[in-house]
A and B are shown apart, each in its own frame.
Chain A
Amino acid sequence: MGIGLRQFAPGHRTCAGCGSAIVFRHVLEALGDDVIICQATGCMEVTTTPYPETSFKVPWIHVVFENAASVATGVKRALKAQGNNHTRVVAMGGDGGMIDIGFGAVSGALERGEDIIIIVYDTEAYSNTGLQRSGGTPFGASTTTSPAGKKIPGKQEWKKNIAMIAVMHRAKYVATANPAFWADLQAKVRKAYEMEGGTRLIHIYSPCPIGWHVDPSKTIKVAKLAVETGLWMLYEVEEGKLKINYKPKEFKPVEEYFKLQGRFKHLLGRKDIIEMVERHVREHWEMMEKVEKEGIDLPKLV
Chain B
Amino acid sequence: MAREVMEGSQAVARIVANCDVKVIAAYPITPQTHIVQELAKMHADGLIDCEFVNVEAEFSAISAILGATAAGARSFTATSSQGLALMHEVVFAAAGMRLPLVMVIANRALSAPINIWNDHQDSIAERDSGWIQIYCESVQEVVDSVVQAYKIAENKNVLLPVMVCMDGFYLTHVYEPVEIPPKSKVHKFLGKFNYPYKLDPKKPLTMGPLGFPADYARLRKQLAEAVWNSKKVIKEVHDIYAKQFGRVYGDGLLEVYGDGSIALVAMGSVCGTIKDMIDKDELKDVCLVRIRTFRPFPKDEIVEVLKDRDAVVVLDRNISLGNAGAVYLEVRDALYDEKDKPKVVDFVVGLGGVDVNKATLNYVVEKARTVKSGHVEIVDGSEVSSSY
Residue B106 lies at the interface, judged by CB distance under 8 Å to chain A: no
With a cutoff of 8 Å between Cβ atoms, the chain A residues found around residue B89 in the complex are 64
Q: How far is the CA of A107 from the CA of B71 in the complex (A)?
A: 23
| B90-A67 in contact (CB<8A) | yes
| B201-A34 in contact (CB<8A) | yes
With a cutoff of 8 Å between Cβ atoms, the chain B residues found around residue A73 in the complex are 25, 53, 55, 60, 63-64, 67
| B60-A33 in contact (CB<8A) | no
| A70-B64 in contact (CB<8A) | yes
Residue A18 lies at the interface, judged by CB distance under 8 Å to chain B: no
Contact partner of B207 among A62, A67, A74, CB < 8 A?
Answer: A62
Contact partner of B59 among A33, A57, A80, A105, CB < 8 A?
Answer: A105
Give min CB distance, B46 to chain A, whole Å: 15
Enumerate A55-100 residues with CB–CB distance to B below 8 Å.
56-64, 66-67, 69-75, 77-82, 87
CB-nearest residue of chain A to B200: A59
With a cutoff of 8 Å between Cβ atoms, the chain A residues found around residue B90 in the complex are 63-64, 67
| A70-B63 in contact (CB<8A) | yes
CB-nearest residue of chain A to B64: A74
| B201-A58 in contact (CB<8A) | yes
| B53-A79 in contact (CB<8A) | no
Residue A54 lies at the interface, judged by CB distance under 8 Å to chain B: yes
Residues of A in contact, count (CB < 8 Å)? 43
With a cutoff of 8 Å between Cβ atoms, the chain B residues found around residue A67 in the complex are 59-60, 63, 90
With a cutoff of 8 Å between Cβ atoms, the chain B residues found around residue A58 in the complex are 201, 204
Enumerate A8-65 residues with CB–CB distance to B below 8 Å.
33-36, 38, 45-46, 49-52, 54, 56-64
| A60-B59 in contact (CB<8A) | no
| B22-A105 in contact (CB<8A) | no
Enumerate A180-234 residues with CB–CB distance to B below 8 Å.
none
| A81-B51 in contact (CB<8A) | yes
- Pick from B134-142, B155-163, B209-217, B286-294 the stretch touching chain A: B209-217
Residue B54 lies at the interface, judged by CB distance under 8 Å to chain A: yes
With a cutoff of 8 Å between Cβ atoms, the chain A residues found around residue B23 in the complex are 74, 77-78, 81
Contact A60 B64, CB 8 Å, known A87-B201, A108-B55: no
Q: How far is the CA of A61 from the CA of B207 in the complex (A)?
A: 5
Give min CB distance, A155 to chain B, whole Å: 27
Residue B365 lies at the interface, judged by CB distance under 8 Å to chain A: no
Residue A289 lies at the interface, judged by CB distance under 8 Å to chain B: no
Give min CB distance, A90 to chain B, whole Å: 12
Contact A75 B71, CB 8 Å, known A56-B206, A60-B207: yes
Give min CB distance, B312 to chain A, whole Å: 40
CB-nearest residue of chain B to A7: B204
Contact A49 B209, CB 8 Å, known A64-B93, A111-B56: yes
- Kindly supply a per-residue 1/0 record for chain B positions 197-209, scoring 1 wherever the CB is within 8 Å of any chain A CB and 0 otherwise: 0011101111111
Give min CB distance, A195 to chain B, whole Å: 18
Q: How far is the CA of A63 from the CA of B90 in the complex (A)?
A: 7
Residue A104 lies at the interface, judged by CB distance under 8 Å to chain B: yes
Q: How far is the CA of A107 from the CA of B200 in the complex (A)?
A: 26
With a cutoff of 8 Å between Cβ atoms, the chain B residues found around residue A66 in the complex are 59
| B57-A104 in contact (CB<8A) | yes
Give min CB distance, A247 to chain B, whole Å: 37
Residue A290 lies at the interface, judged by CB distance under 8 Å to chain B: no
CB-nearest residue of chain B to A105: B60
| A50-B209 in contact (CB<8A) | yes
Q: How far is the CA of A60 from the CA of B50 in the complex (A)?
A: 24
- Kindly supply a per-residue 1/0 record for chain B positions 180-210, scoring 1 wherever the CB is within 8 Å of any chain A CB and 0 otherwise: 0000000000000000000111011111111
Interface size class of B (residues with CB under 8 A): 35 or more
With a cutoff of 8 Å between Cβ atoms, the chain A residues found around residue B349 in the complex are none
| A70-B60 in contact (CB<8A) | yes
| A59-B205 in contact (CB<8A) | yes
Q: How far is the CA of A182 from the CA of B380 in the complex (A)?
A: 66
| B199-A75 in contact (CB<8A) | yes
| B209-A62 in contact (CB<8A) | yes
With a cutoff of 8 Å between Cβ atoms, the chain A residues found around residue B69 in the complex are 74, 78
With a cutoff of 8 Å between Cβ atoms, the chain A residues found around residue B70 in the complex are 61, 71, 74-75, 78
CB-nearest residue of chain B to A74: B67
Contact A71 B209, CB 8 Å, known A52-B215, A77-B23, A77-B53: no
- Kindly supply a per-residue 1/0 record for chain B positions 65-80, scoring 1 wherever the CB is within 8 Å of any chain A CB and 0 otherwise: 1111111110100000
Contact partner of A77 among B64, B204, B206, CB < 8 A?
Answer: B64
| A35-B71 in contact (CB<8A) | no
Residue B378 lies at the interface, judged by CB distance under 8 Å to chain A: no
CB-nearest residue of chain B to A67: B63
CB-nearest residue of chain A to B24: A77
Q: How far is the CA of A296 from the CA of B162 in the complex (A)?
A: 52
| B207-A75 in contact (CB<8A) | no
Residue B97 lies at the interface, judged by CB distance under 8 Å to chain A: yes
Contact partner of B212 among A36, A51, A64, A111, CB < 8 A?
Answer: A51
Contact A45 B71, CB 8 Å, known A77-B51, A78-B22: no
| B60-A81 in contact (CB<8A) | no
Give min CB distance, B41 to chain A, whole Å: 19
| A36-B201 in contact (CB<8A) | yes
Q: How far is the CA of A78 from the CA of B203 in the complex (A)?
A: 17
Q: How far is the CA of A59 from the CA of B60 in the complex (A)?
A: 21
Enumerate B250-283 residues with CB–CB distance to A below 8 Å.
none
| B59-A70 in contact (CB<8A) | yes
Q: How far is the CA of A124 from the CA of B22 in the complex (A)?
A: 38
Residue A112 lies at the interface, judged by CB distance under 8 Å to chain B: yes
With a cutoff of 8 Å between Cβ atoms, the chain B residues found around residue A64 in the complex are 63, 89-90, 93
| A74-B50 in contact (CB<8A) | no
CB-nearest residue of chain B to A49: B209
Give min CB distance, A34 to chain B, whole Å: 5
With a cutoff of 8 Å between Cβ atoms, the chain B residues found around residue A69 in the complex are 60
With a cutoff of 8 Å between Cβ atoms, the chain B residues found around residue A56 in the complex are 204, 206
| A51-B215 in contact (CB<8A) | yes
CB-nearest residue of chain B to A39: B208
Q: List 27 A-B contacts (CB under 8 A).
A: A45-B210, A51-B215, A51-B219, A52-B209, A54-B209, A59-B206, A59-B207, A60-B206, A63-B67, A63-B90, A63-B93, A64-B93, A71-B64, A73-B64, A73-B67, A74-B63, A74-B67, A77-B22, A77-B64, A78-B67, A78-B68, A79-B71, A81-B51, A104-B57, A108-B60, A111-B56, A112-B54
* Given A61-B67, A64-B90; 6 other pairs, CB 8 A cutoff: A67-B60, A73-B60, A75-B71, A77-B25, A82-B73, A104-B57
